[in-house]
Chain A
Amino acid sequence: MNKNSLGTYQFDIKETIKLSQQQIPIEEIEEMEIVPNVEIEQRGEEIEITGSLYVYGSYRGNNENKILSETNDLPHSYEESVQFTPLSADRGPFSPLTKEDKLEHRIPVKITLPSGKVRDVSDVYAYINSFDYDLMSQHQIEIIASLIIGGFVEKEDEMKKKTILEEQLEFVHIAGGTGESKQEPTLEERLAAIEDQVPKIAEPTPAEEERIQLSSEKIEQVQAMEAMENERPIAPIEKEVKVEAAPEVRDEPKVSAIEVRNELEANAESEVSEEPEIADTPEIKAEEKAEEKGERQEEEENDLESRTPLDNVIALPNLGQAPEENVEVISEMEEDIRVAITGKGTKQDREEITSLSSIFSRRPVREEVEQTPNLERSEDAAEDEEEKEEHLYLTNFMESNQEQFTKLKLCIVQKDETIEEIAERYRIQAESILRANQAVRTQISQGQILYIPVKG
């Protein structure tokens, strides 16, 4: 199997078809086609593609009866001159009058791929990309075809973009600690809008995994920023940076898109023996190292966390921090954090992008949110009952001890997707989604970001 362009897998098929004795020998192929007839089903954590590729063909043959030897050459001996092909008292396995025959052959198919690579099983499709045959003998044909399985989420692409986002967000947080960074208006607005909702449903658990799905709109923004960044001088691929151990930074989620991507790749490799495409690249090594470092740092940060007074501060990003200052801070901290920067490791990279997940997942945010309901109660006592209920719910949601471990996921609403479908996908109640997303009632639209409370 080969992985083609993102979202598709190519399975090269080479099959030898042998004719039965009842079939006339092949002299000339007239027509040959291959038709996939497969069922694509989800079985647990796997997408199973089963069925057959049907090879249909028609050919001409058995024309030797028409050829009456007109040779005038006599052999060198009289014995040879009267040695003949024996007559046949049987009609033979096939009618000598048959000059055309058909070919039918079934190539069984069973392919298993991880379901995590698709949004929905109905998105997966199969088709024959290339098809050729080779007439090996009058009784044997070799079929060469490529089966394409498509419809997989191009997560690599998405994850790449997310990686960019994450990397830049790390910088954002560092900058946020200094409060000197500038923020790009577009994202700032977006973040502000999102942050308005965040305190009510903040994610308390530190260093937990989040899978982020970015809307196409967001990806476009990121791409646009990437484009801008690419014009800037490119930093080394792998870079050691000493990062100031600001409390805001400590609780930043350590599982980023890289990890998600690696996980996907690992799945793909184990299931379909996909050739590694990323693992050996320096960027990924660097990222992995960064993650390892991150884990160590996380432990240290947990220690710091208990004694720092900044725990209650919401880590709003202060973009536009001077890189030089950053470096200075880093050097002061004398803590090594390896950051993989893939073509965007410039000083300006630290400026603008924020990570929603990182914001929500920080403990300080949770702690602040825990206070929020009280504030709301005192300030907005006249709000309608429904809002109160929602706030109460959120209050309870956040105040519960168990809920300290509640994860929050972001979901980008896909085309024609309903809340029920999303709820089913995340195995939660639709009401939970509605409660977690105040602004949402029953109508959602494509590209909309929803918060998915996941207990774990």
Chain B
Amino acid sequence: MNSLKISLDQLKKMMAAYRLKVLRVQTLEDGYLVETNKGKKRVTVWNQSAQLKWSNAWREQMSALGHQAVEKFIPNMNKKKYIRYQGKYFVLSHIPEGRKPNVSDYWDCESTGRVYAQYHHALEGIEPKTTLVNHTPFSDDFFIQGSKWIKEGIQAIEHKEHPTLIDELIYANLPLLYQRFRRAYQLWEGVKDSVFSLPLSYASFQLDQLTETDQGWHVSGGYNQPLVTLHHDTVHLLRNIYEKSDWKEEAVLSFLKGYEEERKLSDTELIYILFQLAVPVEVWTYFNQYMQKGEITPDEAEKMVDAIRKQRHWDHLAARFGRYIDENNRQKIPFQ
């Protein structure tokens, strides 16, 4: 949450600008859940006006594209969608009421896939001439440094006088990590020149950003998130669906089906998604933490082991997505 804390009185004054009376306030990660005389509202606090503008743009764009079920910023009496206070931007929005997607229901997966594709359509329509920084982690340097880190990690463990079981565990897995890392780099090299033509998007997209309302799947969220090249969020969402569905690839395929009904994924986008699925992000993160700190708590060790165990699912997801690309490619070439 943004570090700025405001008093109840200050919040009441802000809500007065929206002609709302504050009944109860609950602190959220990115703002406040305010119970008013006209229902529950969300107050989000933004640090940068550019991010706020970009966020407002895709919401308006979705609406313009015909999808009204989207979280819009409510304008105040001054006809502004924010109140600036102490360098921060306070924004008010509705909180939709309804159910969240059920990934066990492949219809939900497919329909959310379509909405998600509309969201990406909206992102494509945003004017890219902004001062926003692309925080995409992937670059040649990412892979070069990663390879170096793995080799150094192997050497460091080999030179330990008394290696621990965690050392041995990491040591045993580093070459396998390198294998994935190396392949991801190869795939990256094939698409890196065209990837940056893709629109910006949030680094992640959570399933619970979708709420089923009378108007369909309502899209919300995306507050203060760094922006990256498109499909960083897709990979995140695909993994989210796969894990929540108890590792059912059908849930993912249904989602992809709905998505591509609304928006076709290009070869670049598909490979870009594939190479990200191949990178063992979670395991990498835990290994890196241990190597940096040189120690690990029992809780962290348990999480690391869980991450390693989970990686086989991510490996399977990557392979299944690879087959999805292969199948798409065969369909593109008739009589083959």
Q: Bound state CA distance, A81 and B278, in angstroms?
A: 9
Inter-chain contact B319/A65, CB cutoff 8 Å: no
List which A63-112 residues lie within 8 A (CB) of chain B: 64-72, 74, 77-92, 95-97
Does residue B296 face the partner (Cβ distance < 8 Å to A)? no
Number of A-B contacts (CB under 8 A): 105
- The segment from B11-19, B79-87, B174-182, B241-249 found at the interface with A is B174-182
Q: List B contacts of A97 (CB < 8 A).
A: 157-158, 163, 167-168, 171
Partner among B167, B174, B180, B274 whose Cβ is within 8 Å of the Cβ of A84: B180
Q: A89-B305, A89-B309, A96-B171 are in contact. Are A65 and B183 (CB under 8 A)?
A: no
Q: List A contacts of B318 (CB < 8 A).
A: 82
Inter-chain contact A65/B178, CB cutoff 8 Å: no
Does residue B172 face the partner (Cβ distance < 8 Å to A)? yes
Q: A88-B308, A95-B168 are in contact. Are A82 and B183 (CB under 8 A)?
A: yes
Q: A69-B182, A78-B274, A81-B187 are in contact. Are A87 and B308 (CB under 8 A)?
A: yes
Give the total of B residues in contact with A, Cβ under 8 Å: 45
Nearest Cβ on chain A to B57's Cβ, whole angstroms: 34
Q: Bound state CA distance, A92 and B274, in angstroms?
A: 30
Inter-chain contact A68/B178, CB cutoff 8 Å: yes
Identify whether the interface residues of B are mostly helix, strand, loop, or mixed: helix
Inter-chain contact A91/B168, CB cutoff 8 Å: yes
Does residue B173 face the partner (Cβ distance < 8 Å to A)? yes
Q: Bound state CA distance, A72 and B143, in angstroms?
A: 14
Q: List B contacts of A85 (CB < 8 A).
A: 176, 179
Inter-chain contact B312/A78, CB cutoff 8 Å: no
Inter-chain contact B150/A68, CB cutoff 8 Å: yes
Does residue B326 face the partner (Cβ distance < 8 Å to A)? yes
Which residue of A is nearest B167, CB measured? A97
Q: Bound state CA distance, A88 and B320, in angstroms?
A: 21
Q: List A contacts of B175 (CB < 8 A).
A: 64-65, 67-69
Q: Bound state CA distance, A83 and B163, in angstroms?
A: 30
Does residue B34 face the partner (Cβ distance < 8 Å to A)? no
Which residue of A is nearest B308, CB measured? A89
Q: List A contacts of B323 (CB < 8 A).
A: 77-79
Nearest Cβ on chain B to A207's Cβ, whole angstroms: 82
Inter-chain contact B171/A81, CB cutoff 8 Å: no
Q: Bound state CA distance, A86 and B283, in angstroms?
A: 12
Does residue B212 face the partner (Cβ distance < 8 Å to A)? no
Q: Mark B7-34, 1 if CB is under 8 A from A, else 0.
A: 0000000000000000000000000000
Which residue of B is nearest A99, CB measured? B158
Inter-chain contact B326/A77, CB cutoff 8 Å: yes
Partner among A70, A74, A83, A87 whose Cβ is within 8 Å of the Cβ of B319: A83
Does residue B198 face the partner (Cβ distance < 8 Å to A)? no
Q: Mark B296-336, 1 if CB is under 8 A from A, else 0.
A: 00000000010011011001001111110110000000000
Does residue B64 face the partner (Cβ distance < 8 Å to A)? no
Q: Bound state CA distance, A386 and B169, in angstroms?
A: 93
Q: List B contacts of A95 (CB < 8 A).
A: 163, 168
Q: Bound state CA distance, A396 and B293, in angstroms?
A: 104
List which B138-181 residues lie within 8 A (CB) of chain A: 147, 150-151, 154, 157-158, 163, 165, 167-169, 171-180
Q: A84-B315, A87-B311, A97-B157 are in contact. Are A78 and B179 (CB under 8 A)?
A: no
Does residue B203 face the partner (Cβ distance < 8 Å to A)? no
Inter-chain contact A69/B154, CB cutoff 8 Å: no
Partner among B151, B167, B274 whose Cβ is within 8 Å of the Cβ of A82: B274
Q: Bound state CA distance, A356 and B171, in angstroms?
A: 83
Q: List B contacts of A74 (CB < 8 A).
A: 186-187
Q: List B contacts of A89 (CB < 8 A).
A: 169, 305, 308-309
Q: List B contacts of A96 (CB < 8 A).
A: 168, 171-172
Q: List A contacts of B199 (CB < 8 A).
A: none
Inter-chain contact B186/A72, CB cutoff 8 Å: yes
Q: Bound state CA distance, A68 and B177, in angstroms?
A: 10
> Can you offer 13 A-B residue contacts whose CB atoms are under 8 A?
A71-B182, A77-B326, A78-B321, A81-B322, A82-B274, A82-B318, A82-B319, A83-B319, A87-B173, A87-B280, A88-B176, A96-B172, A97-B158
Interface residues, chain A, with chain B CB atoms under 8 Å away: 64-72, 74, 77-92, 95-97
| 5 pairs of A and B residues whose beta carbons are closest in the complex | A79-B322, A78-B322, A96-B172, A79-B323, A82-B318
